[in-house]
C-alpha cells in the first residue's frame, strides 16, 4: 500500500507541475500565469479540491494516441472564496493549446452539473484555442453540452467568465451566455472569426487585439463587463464581485457589517447637483455619497457611458444601482444604454438584489441612426426588464424625467415600489420649451412679439405642470425629500421592502423584445 501511495503521490506531483518546463516558460513569456497559479489567486488558500485530475482522452488518429496527458488540458474542481463554495474550470494552454476535446468537454460538463446541483457560483478561466480539430465533430458536440448547461444555469447560479487568453469560434459563445465577462488587456481576445479569416473574406487587415481585445469589447461591443491590465488584479476583482452575489437564486446576497451610519446626512449633495437642468455633473459622485463608504463596483464602465450600473451596499445590504449620467450625452437613453441597463436589471432580479434607480433623463436620443437601429425594440428591453422584476425597486428623481424615458426608468406606473424626488425634479412629457412650442404654437405665431410670448408660455407651462410637487400631488411620487436625507430614506425603505413577495402569472417563460 505504501508503495502504491508513493506512486500516486509522484503521479499527482507531475500533473500539478504541468506537461514540461518549456511549455511553462512559453506561457510566462506571454505574460500569463499557469492554470494552477490562477486558481490559487481566485480561491481561498488551500481550499481547492480537484475533480478528475487523472482524466485522459481516448481519441485516435493524427498522433493523438501517442499524446495522452493527464487533465486533458482543463483543470476542474471546487474551493471557497471568503469561505463560500465556488466551482471552477480552467483551461491549461500548455496542453493542446487548451483546445476542447471529448474528454475535456466531459470534465467541464461534470463540474457544471455539480455547480447547478450544489447551488454555487461557477467561474471559468478561459485560455483555450477552441475546438480540438483532430477530434472533429465530437469536439463541437462538447461545446453544445456546455452551451446547454450555461442556459440551464442562467438565473439559477452566478456564472462568471474570465478571459485570460485567446477565445475563438464557438468558444466565445459560452462566455456570452454567462452573467459577467472579465478580460485582461493584451493577452486575452474574443472573436468568432480571427484576423486571417477576416482578411481572406473581406480584405480587411486587423490585429487580434484590434479585432477582439479587451478594450474593444469593453468600449465598443459591450461583450466585456470588466477589463484589467494584469491577471492578478482581474482575479482579485472576480473575488470582490463574488462577495456581492448570492450563491444562487434562492438566497439573498451576503450582508456585511457597515461602519457607515445608516442615518448619515449627505450635505454635499445640496451643492453637487446643479438646480439648472442644463448643467452637467458626475452621477458617480452622487453614488459615492449615498453608498456605504463610497465603495461600489461599476459594471460595463466604459460601454454606453450615458447610463451607469453598479453593485454597492447600503447599510451592509447589497443593492443594484441604475443611473443616468448627465456628463455623457446629457444622460439620454439610446440603444446601447437601454441594453446595458436592461441586462443589469435582469441580473439583479434573478439574484434577489434590490434595485435603486437614479433619474436625470431628458428622454430617448433622437436621430435616424437610432430609429433605424431599432431604438423602439431596444428601449422595450429595458421596459420589459423593469416590468418583469419582482425584487424591491425604488425610483429617485434628481432633476429631469421627461417622456417615455421617465416611464421606462422604473416609474410607479411600471411597478416601482416607491418613488422619491428631490425639490429640483421636473417630471413632464417633454421640456417646457418644447411643450410650449407645441401647445401654444398659434398664440406664439400670432403675437406681436413671438419671443416674449414664447417666454411667457414657457413660464406658464412650468408653473402649471412642471412644479416639483405636481407628480406628488397625484400620487405618482411618494414623497419629495431633502437630498441630504436621501441615504437614510433609501435605507429605511429597503429595510421595509426586504420581505416583499410578488408572484408573476404562471407561464413557461416570457417573450421579451430582442
- Positive or negative, the CA dihedral 122, 125, 126, 131 is negative
Is 130 catalytic? The answer is no
Q: Which residue in 227, 312, 342, 405 is the catalytic one?
A: 405
Is 98 catalytic? The answer is no
Q: Yes or no: say if 97 and 129 are a contact pair by the CB < 8 Å rule.
A: yes
Within 13 Å and on the Cβ side, how many CA atoms surround 324?
Answer: 31
Structural domain 1-244, CATH architecture: Alpha-Beta Complex (3.90)
Q: Which residue in 170, 212, 277, 331 is the catalytic one?
A: 170
Can you tell me the distance from the alpha carbon of 132 to that of 75, in angstroms, rounded to the nearest whole number? 17
Domain ranges of the chain: 1-244, 268-425+468-497, 429-467
Q: Which residue in 155, 374, 404, 415 is the catalytic one?
A: 404
Can you tell me the distance from the alpha carbon of 118 to that of 321, in angstroms, rounded to the nearest whole number? 29
The closest of 302, 368, 384, 386 to 336, measured between CA atoms, is 302
Q: How far, CA to CA in Å, does 452 sit from each of 280, 446, 449?
A: 28, 12, 5
Is 404 catalytic? The answer is yes
| pLDDT for the residue 185 | 95
C-alpha dihedral (383, 387, 390, 391), degrees to nearest 10: 40
* DSSP, residue by residue, 89-117: EEE-TTTGGG-B-HHHHHHHHHHHHHHHH
| Distant-in-sequence, close-in-space partners of 198: CB < 8 Å, separation ≥ 6 | 204, 206, 211
Is 169 catalytic? The answer is yes
For residue 355, the cross-strand partners are 320, 393
Show the cell assigned to 348. Answer: 439583479
Q: Yes or no: say if 248 and 352 are a contact pair by the CB < 8 Å rule.
A: no
Can you tell me the distance from the alpha carbon of 67 to that of 56, in angstroms, rounded to the nearest whole number? 9
Can you tell me the distance from the alpha carbon of 167 to that of 173, in angstroms, rounded to the nearest whole number? 9
| pLDDT for the residue 435 | 67
Can you tell me the distance from the alpha carbon of 482 to that of 432, in angstroms, rounded to the nearest whole number? 24
* DSSP, residue by residue, 309-348: EEEEEETTEEEEEEEE-TTTGGG-B-HHHHHHHHHHHHHH
| pLDDT for the residue 171 | 81
Instruction: Output DSSP code: residue 236.
Output: H
The bridge status of strand 307-314 relative to strand 296-299 is antiparallel
Q: What angle do CA 416, 283, 404 make, to 5 degrees?
A: 45
Q: Which residue in 136, 155, 169, 222 is the catalytic one?
A: 169
- Positive or negative, the CA dihedral 268, 269, 275, 280 is positive
* DSSP, residue by residue, 408-476: HTT-GGGT-SEEEE-TT-EEESS-HHHHHHHHTHHHHHHSSSHHHHHHHHHHHHHHHH-STTHHHHTTS
Can you tell me the distance from the alpha carbon of 114 to that of 109, in angstroms, rounded to the nearest whole number? 9
Same fold flag, 1-244 and 268-425+468-497 = yes
Q: How far, CA to CA in Å, does 265 sit from each of 47, 331, 385, 483, 487?
A: 42, 26, 32, 9, 7
Q: What is the pTM of this model?
A: 0.93
Q: Yes or no: say if 472 and 425 are a contact pair by the CB < 8 Å rule.
A: no
| pLDDT for the residue 384 | 96
Q: Which residues of 19-48 are buried (b: 16+ CB within 10 A; e: fewer)?
A: beeeeeeebeeeebbbbbbbbbbbbeeebb
Q: What angle do CA 184, 188, 193 make, to 5 degrees?
A: 145
Q: What angle do CA 371, 373, 378 make, to 5 degrees?
A: 90
Q: Yes or no: say if 457 and 440 are a contact pair by the CB < 8 Å rule.
A: yes
| pLDDT for the residue 21 | 82
Q: Does domain 268-425+468-497 have CATH number 3.40.50.10190?
A: no
| pLDDT for the residue 131 | 75
Can you tell me the distance from the alpha carbon of 262 to that of 117, in angstroms, rounded to the nearest whole number? 37
The closest of 87, 91, 58, 88 to 74, measured between CA atoms, is 91
Q: Mean pLDDT, 10 residues at a time, over the chain (514 residues)?
A: 85 81 86 94 96 81 73 92 97 83 92 98 91 77 93 97 88 93 94 86 90 94 96 98 98 95 96 91 98 97 97 98 97 97 98 98 94 95 96 96 93 95 87 70 78 77 76 91 97 97 87 90
| pLDDT for the residue 459 | 76
Amino acid at each position: 500500500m505504501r508503495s502504491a501511495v508513493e506512486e500516486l503521490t509522484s503521479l499527482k506531483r507531475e500533473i500539478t507541475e504541468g506537461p514540461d518546463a518549456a511549455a511553462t516558460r512559453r506561457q510566462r513569456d506571454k505574460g500569463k500565469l499557469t492554470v494552477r497559479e490562477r486558481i490559487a489567486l481566485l480561491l481561498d488558500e488551500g481550499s481547492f479540491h480537484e475533480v478528475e485530475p487523472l482524466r485522459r482522452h481516448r481519441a485516435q488518429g493524427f498522433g493523438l494516441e501517442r499524446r495522452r496527458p493527464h487533465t486533458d488540458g482543463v483543470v476542474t474542481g471546487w474551493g471557497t472564496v471568503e469561505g463560500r463554495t465556488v466551482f471552477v474550470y480552467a483551461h491549461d494552454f500548455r496542453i493542446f493549446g487548451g483546445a476542447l476535446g471529448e474528454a475535456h468537454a466531459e470534465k467541464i460538463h461534470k463540474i457544471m452539473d455539480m455547480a447547478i446541483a450544489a447551488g454555487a457560483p461557477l467561474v471559468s478561466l478561459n485560455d483555450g484555442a477552441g475546438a480540438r480539430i483532430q477530434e472533429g465533430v465530437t469536439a463541437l458536440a462538447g461545446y453544445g453540452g456546455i452551451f446547454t448547461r450555461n442556459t440551464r444555469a442562467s438565473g439559477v447560479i452566478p456564472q462568471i467568465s474570465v478571459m485570460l487568453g485567446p477565445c475563438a469560434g464557438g468558444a466565445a459563445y459560452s462566455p456570452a451566455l454567462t452573467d459577467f465577462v472579465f478580460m485582461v488587456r493584451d493577452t486575452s481576445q474574443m472573436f468568432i472569426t480571427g484576423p486571417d479569416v477576416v482578411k481572406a473574406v473581406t480584405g480587411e487587415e486587423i490585429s487580434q487585439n484590434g479585432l477582439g481585445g479587451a478594450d474593444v469589447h469593453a468600449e465598443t461591443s459591450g461583450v466585456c463587463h470588466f477589463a484589467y491590465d494584469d491577471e492578478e488584479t482581474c482575479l482579485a476583482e472576480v473575488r470582490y464581485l463574488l462577495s456581492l452575489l448570492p450563491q444562487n437564486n434562492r438566497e439573498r446576497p451576503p450582508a456585511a457589517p457597515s461602519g457607515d451610519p445608516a442615518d448619515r446626512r449627505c450635505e454635499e449633495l445640496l451643492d453637487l447637483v446643479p438646480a439648472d437642468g442644463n448643467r452637467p455633473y458626475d452621477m458617480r459622485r452622487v453614488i459615492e455619497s449615498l453608498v456605504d463608504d463610497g465603495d461600489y463596483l461599476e459594471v460595463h464602465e466604459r460601454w454606453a457611458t450615458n447610463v451607469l450600473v453598479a453593485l454597492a451596499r447600503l447599510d451592509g445590504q447589497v443593492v443594484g444601482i441604475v443611473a443616468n449620467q448627465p456628463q455623457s450625452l446629457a444622460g439620454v437613453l439610446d440603444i446601447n444604454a437601454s441594453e446595458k441597463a436592461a441586462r443589469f436589471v435582469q441580473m439583479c432580479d434573478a439574484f434577489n438584489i434590490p434595485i435603486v434607480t437614479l433619474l436625470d433623463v431628458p428622454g430617448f436620443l433622437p436621430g435616424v441612426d437610432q430609429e433605424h437601429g431599432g431604438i423602439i425594440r431596444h428601449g422595450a428591453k429595458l421596459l420589459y426588464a423593469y416590468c418583469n422584476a419582482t425584487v424591491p425597486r425604488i425610483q429617485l428623481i434628481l432633476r429631469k424625467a421627461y417622456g417615455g424615458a421617465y416611464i421606462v426608468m422604473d416609474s410607479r406606473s411600471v411597478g416601482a415600489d416607491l418613488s422619491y424626488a428631490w425639490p429640483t425634479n421636473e417630471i413632464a412629457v417633454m421640456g417646457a420649451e418644447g411643450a410650449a412650442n407645441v401647445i401654444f404654437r398659434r398664440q406664439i405665431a400670432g403675437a406681436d412679439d413671438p419671443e416674449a410670448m414664447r417666454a411667457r408660455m414657457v413660464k406658464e407651462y412650468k408653473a402649471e405642470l412642471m412644479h416639483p410637487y405636481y407628480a406628488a400631488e397625484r400620487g405618482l411620487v411618494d414623497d419629495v425629500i431633502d437630498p441630504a436625507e436621501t441615504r437614510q430614506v433609501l435605507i429605511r425603505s429597503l429595510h421595509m421592502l426586504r420581505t416583499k413577495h410578488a408572484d408573476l402569472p404562471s407561464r413557461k417563460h416570457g417573450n421579451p423584445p430582442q
